[in-house]
Amino acid sequence: KALSRVLFLTPHLPAFFLRHRLRSHVLEIRHLDRAMLRLGLGQLSEEELRAACYLRGLNSTHLGMSECRAWLEQWLGLSCKLQASEASLLANSMVLLSLNYLRAKE
């Protein structure tokens, strides 16, 4: 339920539906990550970079473009190496990478 809230998904569903919805959402992000990797982060505008970070759980309002790009490079490195069967690890990595990155900046 906590991950559902972080990813802006309705947490008020039976556990089976929550797991299915969370897994499909994470796999969709994984597909977007692979497309972004092929496109290259240099092709993204500042607004697109910030939106990409936000979608992956990082509040980038107080970060510069280079910090957003660095975090996304780190994220893509992890996301594109994981298999679809490791969706749970990817979902939990969103929280861990975001929290640890922000703590390092304080």
pLDDT of residue 7: 66
Report yes or no: 73 and 32 within 8 Å, Cβ to Cβ.
no
What the block records as the tokens of 48 is 């697109």
The predicted-structure confidence for 62-83, as pLDDT tens digits, reads as follows: 889 999 999 999 899 888 888 8
CB contact at 8 A, 86 and 78: no
Q: What pLDDT, on the 0 to 100 scale, is given for residue 98?
A: 74
Q: What is the pLDDT of residue 21?
A: 80
* Residue ranges for the chain with pLDDT beneath 50: none
End-to-end CA distance of the chain: 28
What pLDDT does residue 38 have? Answer: 93
